Amino acid sequence: MVSDIFFLHLFLAFAIGSLWVTIITIIAEKKGSVLGGILGGLPSTSAFSFFFIGINQSSAAAVQATTVFPLAFGITSAYLFFFAFFAQKGFSRGIYVSLLIWFAFSGLIVASGLRDFAFSLVGGAAISLLTYYSFTKKLKLQNLKGEARLYKIREVILRGVGAGSLVLISVLLSQIGGPVLGGIAAAFPAVFTSTLIILNRSRGTEFSRAVTKPLVLSGILTIIPFSVAVRYLYPSFGIWLGTLVSYALVVPLAILSYCMAQR
């Protein structure tokens, strides 16, 4: 039945999202903020959303969702900057204020009914680049090293459940909304937010702030190009192969972002 398949896909989104964030945060804690941020900035929520939109609806529906996505991701990039800025006065303030800003500007995109992909792409790239420039000029964030630690099973499970739940909500909204809401939901910072919360609890606010800059850099160089690849490859390659090829295309860009973040 279609409903059974739909719920199966939601469960898969939860399972993959929880595993993804758990692995990313453990790597960040052990290897440092740069590698953790670069890996955390790879296409995740967006990849899950586009994939399941294509599977549950059609490749055309997934392509429509990419129309608004670059601009929406620009807002997500700004979300990370505002978090790093306001978190100087406390982690909770950083999360709440940045999420409030994200919802406010994302609501404007939904209200606009945007259908122009070129405008979305240029606007999203411009906002993302301005955000990264603001990171380099306004915030003096240091790359922090990782440290070895032991993990309790309960801690790992709680990480997975919390992160997977945010990813599931994002994917669910991308499924039940139209093309504009679907693109917005695909850009929702589910993985970013859960990663910041987990790292704050394990390593403190400054470590979670340090991750934001490589997260933005990785997202600019991989997530936006990934959405462009999906837009043009899904109609020709199909959902499965289109997703794999799109991801393969951004791997060299992820390596480039790591080299840049190291500098």
77 neighbors 216 (Cβ within 8 angstroms): yes
Tens-place pLDDT, residues 138-191: 887 887 787 777 667 777 787 778 777 877 787 787 777 777 777 888 888 888
Summarize pLDDT for 17-40 with one digit per residue, the tens.
888 888 888 888 888 888 888 888
Coil vs helix vs strand at 135: helix
Q: Are 15 and 27 in contact (CB under 8 A)?
A: no
User: What pTM was estimated for this model as a whole?
Assistant: 0.88
Predicted pLDDT of residue 126: 95
Phi then psi dihedrals of residue 10, to 5 deg: -65, -40
Residues of the chain with pLDDT under 70: 1-3, 150-151
Q: What is the pLDDT of residue 1?
A: 44
Please count the residues of the chain: 263
CB 80 within 8 A of CB 199: no
Counting Cα atoms < 13 Å in the Cβ hemisphere of 136 gives 12
Find all residues with CB under 8 Å of 60, minimum gap 6, and list them. 235
**Which strand (E) or helix (H) includes residue 153?**
helix 153-176
The tokens of 250 are what?
């951004």
**Cα within 13 Å of Cα(230), Cβ side:** 35
**What does the pLDDT read at residue 85?**
94
